Every structure is written in C-alpha cells, then in structure tokens.
Structure 1
Amino acid sequence: MRVISGEYGGRRLKALDGDHTRPTTDKVKESIFNMIGPYFDGGVVLDLYAGSGGLAIEAVSRGMDLGICIEKNFAAIKIIQENIAITKEPEKFIIKKMDANKAIDFLKEEQRIFDLVLLDPPYAKQEIEKQIEKMIVHRLLSEQTVIVCETDKSVTLPENIGPLAKTREVIYGITQITIYK
C-alpha cells in the first residue's frame, strides 16, 4: 500500500494486521481520485472510517489543506499516526479516536465544514445514508462537497440523499465506489 500521487507520492504506508480494517487497494484508490480530482486546490477532507489513514493522506498529498481521520480502533490509530509521520507534515492531520456517529456530533460542535468526505465503513456495519443525512442536518458539508462511499458491491445506495445526487457508481471486484455531489 502506498501514496499514489501528489506531494507524498510513492511513500509506502503501513496497514493494520488482521481483519480489523480493510485497506483500499492502490488500484481502487487511484480510480477514486481520478474520478473526483485528481488534484485539489485546498479544502478539508473527512475520513470517517480512517483505518490506516491512507485515503485522507492521499487527499492531502493531492492538495487538500487538512485531513481529519476518525477511527475507533486503538491499533488502527497507531498505524494512522505512523503513516502520518511518513508525510513529515503531521500539522496537516487531526486524528480522533471515536465512533463515527459520535464524531459527526463532535464535528458539529467544532463547526467543521468538509469539501471531501470519505466513507469506507466495515462492510457489515454500514450506516452511510443515515450518516450523510446527519452531516447535512448538522451543516458539515460545503456547497461543493464530494462524498465518496466505498461499499460491498451488493449494497444499493439511493440516487439522492437530501440535496446530494449520485453522480457515479463503479464496481471493482467486490468493491463498489459511489460518488455523491
């Protein structure tokens, strides 16, 4: 697993051993960023199920100003910290150890606004639609927000969630990428 492109391109990232996280493959990661970017002119990215932090690191590498990584697994937090250290720019990242739903409430209190949201929950525990609706209600999304959902290919997400419309859906093996704008 590595950073594909941008400022940190080519740097190797660590992944958590075992089945606690399911890192996005380099092929899928590259495809995601080619669909939504591939590069950014600033902004804030939220990685709500950060795992190894690879997606947020990729977004910052490609031009986002700040990456917020939410993860509840302690061992995964340690891997995220190690991966962020590889960037040599830890000030561009915030790591919070908490449940995704609690994090949405916490981010409301901090009055954060996100330009890119990455949702890659464990396949068995998906609450994507509810979480996006909650982010809309809490006004956590900018007018130009792009939301990337990574799910099992058997998951059917709605065409619209509030004012957001599904703009793209692609399947890679067992993984489905759905993009909302």
Structure 2
Amino acid sequence: MRVVSGNYGGRPLKTLAGKTTRPTTDKVKGAIFNMIGPYFEGGRVLDLFAGSGGLAIEAISRGMDEAVLIEKDRAAQAVILENIKMTKETEKFQLLKMPAERALSHLTGQFDLILLDPPYAKEQIVQNLTFLQEQNLLTQAVTVVCETDKSVELPEQIGSLVLTKQKIYGISKISIYEF
C-alpha cells in the first residue's frame, strides 16, 4: 500500500494485519480519485471509517486542506497515527477515536468530500448521509464516495444527494453521490 499521487505520491502506507479492516487497494484508490478529481484546490475531507487512513491521506496529498478521520478500532488508530506522521504535515489531520455514530455528533463545519467505507455498508451509508445532511455538515459542492462490496445496492437518492457515478473494481463497488 502506498500513496498513489500528489504531494505524498509513492510514500508507503502501513496497514492493519488481520481481517478487521479491508484497505482500499492502490488500483481502486487511483480509480476513485480519477472519478472525483483527480486533484483538488483545497477543502475539507471526512473519512468516516478510516481504517488505515489511506483514503484521507490520498485526498490531502491531492490538494485537500484538512482531514477528519474517524476510527473506533485501537489497532487501526495506531496505524493511522503512523501514516499521518509519514506525511510530515500532521496539523492537516484530526483523528477522532470513537465509533462513527458517536463522532458524527461531534463534527463542526462543513465538508467538501466524504469517504464512506463502512463494515455494514447499505444501512450505515444511508443513515450516515441522512444525518450529515440534517446537521448541515455538507457543502453544496460536496462529493460523497461510498466503497462497498459489489453486491450491495445503494439507493439512487439519499435525501438531496443523487447517485451520479458507479463502477465495479473486482469485489468493490464505488458509488459517487452529489447534490
């Protein structure tokens, strides 16, 4: 695993041993950012189920200003902190060490990019995106990236967010929502 492109491009990322997280492969990560960017001129990113932190770090590497990462697993938190340290720009990252449901109520400001790769995809994605909209935590130009198993069917619309792109890469399905 590595950072695919941008300021940190080519730098290695640590991942968690075992099956508690399933890190996004470099190929899928590259494909995701080609679908939505591939580069950004600032903004805030929220990685709600951060795992190793690879997606948020990739977003910062490609031009986002600030990332909030949420992860409840202690071993994954340690890996995220190591990966953030590798960037040498730790001030751009904030790690909330708690379950996503609890962290959502602690969030302030608005986000331009939302990264969702939850363990139980459909139910959690719909719930989380509904809450983020209700709390006015999304900018009007927000892009939401959902990574799920290819068998998961997400709705065409979640609140005011509309499914704009969807692609399958191996066992993963990437769904993009926008206002």
TM-score with structure 1 length normalisation?
0.96
User: Secondary structure of 1:21's match?
Assistant: coil
Aligned to 2:98: 98
Report the Cα distance in structure 1 between the residues aligned to 2:154 and 2:30, rounded to whole angstroms: 22
Q: Do the aligned partners of 2:52 and 2:80 also contact (CA within 8 Å) in 1?
A: yes
1:155 aligned onto 2:152: yes
Partner amino acid, structure 1, of 2:83: N
Aligned AA (2:110): I
Give the CA deviation at 1:74.
Answer: 0.5
**1:122 correspondence with 2:140:** no
Q: Is the 8 A contact 2:49 2:117 kept in 1?
A: yes
RMSD of equivalent CA atoms: 1.0
Match of 1:168 among 165, 168, 177: 165
Unaligned runs of 5+ in 1: none
Partner SS state of residue 105, structure 2: helix
Indicate if the aligned counterparts of 1:49 and 1:119 stay in contact, CA closer than 8 A: yes
Q: TM-score, normalised by structure 2?
A: 0.97
What 5-or-longer segments of structure 2 have no aligned partner? Answer: none
Match of 1:82 in 2: 82
Instruction: List per-residue Cα deviations over 1:108-161 (Å, max 9, x = no partner).
Output: xxx220000000011478510011000000000000000000001111101111
Q: Aligned to 1:84, what secondary structure does the other structure show? A: helix
CA distance in 2, matches of 1:57, 1:69: 10
Check the 8 A contact 1:120/1:151 in 2, yes or no. Answer: yes
Give the AA of the match of 1:44: R
Q: Hey, what does 2:110 align to over in structure 1?
A: 113
Structure 1 residue 90 displacement after superposition = 0.2
User: One-letter code of the match for 2:112?
Assistant: D
Deviation at 1:173, TM superposition (A): 1.1
| CA apart distance, 1:163 | 1.1
**CA offset at residue 162 of structure 1?**
1.1
TM-superposition CA deviations, 1:49-74 (whole Å, max 9, x none): 00000000000000000011100000
Matched residues, number: 178
CA gap 1:126/1:16 in 2 versus in 1, 3 angstroms:
farther
Q: Identity rate of aligned residues, in percent?
A: 61
Instruction: Indicate if the aligned counterparts of 1:123 and 1:152 stay in contact, CA closer than 8 A.
Output: no
Deviation string for 1:41-97 (max 9, x for gaps)?
A: 000000000000000000000000001110000000000000001100000100010
User: Secondary structure at 1:86's aligned position in 2?
Assistant: helix
- Which region of structure 1 is more displaced relative to structure 2, 125-134 or 66-75? 125-134
Question: After TM superposition, where is structure 1 displaced by more than 4 Å over at least 4 residues in a row?
Answer: 123-126
2: distance between equivalents of 1:95 and 1:171?
29
